[in-house]
Amino acid sequence: MTTVLETEDLERQFGKLMAVDGVSVSIDSDDVTSIIGPNGAGKTTFYNLLSGRLDPTGGSVKLRPRDGTELVDVTGQTPYEINRLGLSRAFQINNVFEGLSVIDNLRVARISRTDRSLNLSDIARSDPELSEEAREIIEMVNLEGLEQTKCANLSHGDKRKVEVALALGTDPTVVLLDEPTAGMNATETERMVNLVEEINEQTDTTFVLTEHDMEVVLGISDRVLVLDNGALIADGTPDEVMADERVREAYLGGEL
Amino acid sequence: MVDPGLLIDQLITGISIGSTLFLIAVGLSLIFGVLEVLNFAHGALYMVGAYVVIVTINDFPGGFWVGVLLATLVVGLIGVVIEMGFLRRVYDREDLDQLLLTFAFVLIITDSVRNIFGSGSNVVDPPALLRFDLTLAEGISIPGYRAFVIVMSLVVMGAILLTLRVTNFGRIVRATSSDREMAGLLGINVPRLYTIVFFIGAALAGLGGALVTPLQSVTPELGNQVIINAFVVVVIGGLGSFTGAFVGAYLIGIMIAVGSLFTAGAGQLFPFVALIAVLLLRPEGLFGGVEA
């Protein structure tokens, strides 16, 4: 068991609102961890603090770098710097480079990962290594055959796969997925769940996800964190969390 | 009826004007496409490029060609100073602040040049190498230097398209232009990329200004004269589209040259009529919405 991501008393205040209120968690590399909570519980803000999109007003974020053993304090660093250390993120809305083909999307991730961006002489069409790496990831997420398709022309489910592929494309230690099954039909949802489970087994990548669909959460997670009004109110296995009184009250009470 | 020989002459002049317009519009379009900044100072940078050539010819050994090279580099570096020192600080603010900042640079640069060099006009001869007439067909010829500028605009267009389509750097630029936040989250150093793109855009303005010196008298007002036409070009072509800037520049160049055949002043009228038509019928521009 190894801690790959840790927050201590993490806080973010917007005016008078405490969007994230003293959250301390440590994410273990063996687990698929889900973060749940009612709308407005602070899940997205929490993600934004982890990925560097927002600076916290208090507390700290620590990340285990790709090629290190010690946790490194990344509080206040830019998304670009945090990604370089090994954390990547996929969004709730489709966030892919729409005008680029599937394989070019993945090439961009690989170029960024391997620092080849400024090598003008490195003509990527004849850079077999880069294309090979991009293809491996495309196979991993089962998008074979769509390499040359422009992302704008993909189905919703396939776009989400490209997004997951992009997140994986920078060899992350931790991937944050934001509602990976949002807007998907039952078949697509099942495929996405299987995909995350497969990749989790095949690679060293640790998955953290937010999810609304409780069936997905209970099926996929080893560990569930519950946020309510910005605070962490429960933390444990899916069974433990479902049995928790406060969780039933705060979360399921409103929904069931 | 217009004399066909004259029409062909004006078509050639139009293509020549179009190629100089393209050299200024392409940098404007590049900077807008990637940084989403409408760079008003682009015309002023172009004018600085022209003055670098004049200074090199008058005061330093080396002559025209060294001047062109220096203009490209010097103006590119001025661009880096503007981007890193100032523009970078206002990306998060509203567009108006960025516009005002680049407009401030128009005033600062134009007045500085006027202060140093005076407001008189400067004339440069085409380099000796290109002082000949190229005969295209019987009775139709084009000055060698104009032909050279047309070729240069094609070379620049080809180099940009090739860089964007097949190099890693080009992929990163297209990706960042498509979604800068996603690019940052993927570990792309977006601020550095912005500086590089601004350098390239400004350097292209410097190159354009340098190459136009043998075709047009150079005054501190040069920038203000060309920036309007450059804006017309990029709006008609589609902001951020290189193909659009290319087609737009030649369309406008031909409209200016051929239009002036009909009545005096009509040359300057047609581009604006075209601008209004595009804004009404196809506000995204002829090639807007299409990725480069």
Q: Do B168 and A122 touch (CB under 8 A)?
A: yes
Reply yes or no on whether the pLDDT at A118 is more than 70: no
Beta carbons of B166 and A125 less than 8 Å apart = yes
What mean pLDDT do residues B133-145 have? 82
Per the model's pLDDT, the better-predicted residue between B95 and A13 turns out to be A13
Pairing of strands B133-137, A33-36: unpaired
Which residue in B166, B178, B188 is closest to A80 by CB distance?
Answer: B188
CA distance A84 to chain B (A): 5
Per-residue CA distances from A219 to A89, A192, B245 (Å): 21, 12, 53
Among A84, A100, A120, the residue with its CB nearest the CB of B175 is A100
Q: Do A112 and B188 touch (CB under 8 A)?
A: yes
Report the alpha-carbon distance of residue B151 to residue B130 in Å, rounded.
13
pLDDT at B35 > cutoff 60: yes
The per-residue pLDDT for B134 is 82
Band the pLDDT of B196: cuts 50, 70, 90: very high
Distance CA B151, CA B64 (A): 18
Interchain proximity A107–B291, CB inside 8 Å? no
| pLDDT confidence of residue B284 | 84
| More confident of the two residues B266 and A191 | A191
Residues A107-121: what's their mean pLDDT?
A: 74
Given a cut of 70, is residue A119 above it in pLDDT? Answer: no
- For residue A42, is pLDDT > 60? yes
Strand-strand pairing, A231-236 and A3-14: unpaired
Of A91, A97, A119, the CB nearest to B178: A97
State the pLDDT at residue B1: 57
Test B187 with A112 for CB contact under 8 angstroms: yes
Nearest by CB to A104, from B171, B188, B193: name it.
Answer: B171
Q: Which residues of A touch B185 (CB under 8 A)?
A: 51, 53, 79-80, 83, 88-89
Give every CB contact of residue A108 below 8 A, 6+ residues apart in sequence: A97, A100, A166, A169, B171, B172, B175, B183, B186, B188
Put simply, whether B178 touches A (Cβ < 8 Å) is yes
Distance from CA of A163 to the nearest CA of B (A): 10
- Sheet with A87-90, edge to edge strand ranges: A87-90, A174-178, A206-210, A33-36, A223-228, A231-236
More confident residue, A19 or B139: A19
Which of B172, B181, B185 lies at the smallest CB-CB distance from A117?
Answer: B172
DSSP label at residue B290: S
Find, in chain A, the residue whose alpha carbon is nearest to that of B178.
A97
Interface test with B, best of A55, A80, A121, A162 (most B CBs within 10 A): A80
Judged by CB atoms closer than 8 Å, whether chains meet at A96 and B182 is answered as yes
CATH 3.40.50.10320 matches A1-86+172-255: no
The answer to whether the CB atoms of A124 and B171 lie below 8 A apart is: yes
Structure tokens at A13: 């205040």
Locate the chain B residue with the closest alpha carbon to A110. B186
CA distance B166 to chain A (A): 6
- How much is the mean pLDDT over chain A? 86
Pairing of strands A206-210, A33-36: parallel
- How big is the CA angle at B193 (ends B192 and B196), to the nearest 5 degrees? 90
Q: Give the integer Cα–Cα distance in Å for B224 and B43.
A: 6
Phi, psi torsion values for B158, nearest 5 degrees: -60, -45
Where, residue-wise, is CATH 3.40.50.300 in chain A? Answer: 1-86+172-255
Average pLDDT, chain B: 89
Q: What integer is the mean pLDDT of A236-244? A: 88
Q: What is the ipTM of this complex?
A: 0.71
First and final C-alpha spacing in chain B: 40
CA of A86: which chain B residue's CA is closest? B187
Q: Using one digit for the tens of pLDDT, what is the confidence trace for B85-111?
A: 999 998 888 888 999 999 999 999 999
Are B143 and B137 in contact, with CB atoms under 8 Å apart? Answer: no
| Chain A residues closer than 8 Å to B163 by CB | 120
Give pLDDT, residue B292: 42
Give a three-class secondary structure readout of chain A.
Answer: CCEEEEEEEEEEEECCEEEEEEEEEEEECCCCEEEECCCCCCHHHHHHHHHCCCCCCEEEEEECCCCCCCCEECCCCCHHHHHHHCEEEECCCCCCCCCCEHHHHHHHHHHHHCCCCCCCCCEHHHCHHHHHHHHHHHHHCCCCCCCCCEHHHCCHHHHHHHHHHHHHCCCCCEEEEECCCCCCCHHHHHHHHHHHHHHHHHCCCEEEEECCCHHHHHHHCCEEEEEECCEEEEEECHHHHHHCHHHHHHHHHHHC
Please tell me the predicted confidence (pLDDT) of residue A30: 86
Which residues between 183 and 212 in chain B have a beta carbon less than 8 angstroms from any beta carbon of chain A? 183-190, 193, 196
- The model's confidence at residue A256, banded by pLDDT at 50, 70 and 90, is very low
Say what the pLDDT of residue A2 is.
Answer: 85
Average pLDDT over residues A162-169: 89
Is the pLDDT higher at B38 or at B1?
Answer: B38
Distance CA A96, CA A166 (A): 8
SS3 B210: helix
Q: Are A8 and A24 a contacting pair, CB within 8 Å?
A: yes
Q: Which of A79, A104, A117 sits opposite B169 (nearest CB)?
A: A117
Interchain CB distance below 8 Å, A111 and B167: no
Map tokens 């350097």 to a residue. Answer: B203
B233 CB contacts (<8 Å, ≥6 apart)? B21, B22, B25, B245, B248, B249, B252
Strand ranges in chain B using DSSP code E only, listed in sequence order: 133-137, 140-143
A119: buried, middle or exposed (CB in 10 Å: 19+, 13-18, 0-12)?
Answer: middle
pTM, two decimal places: 0.82
pLDDT category of residue B129 using cuts at 50, 70 and 90:
confident
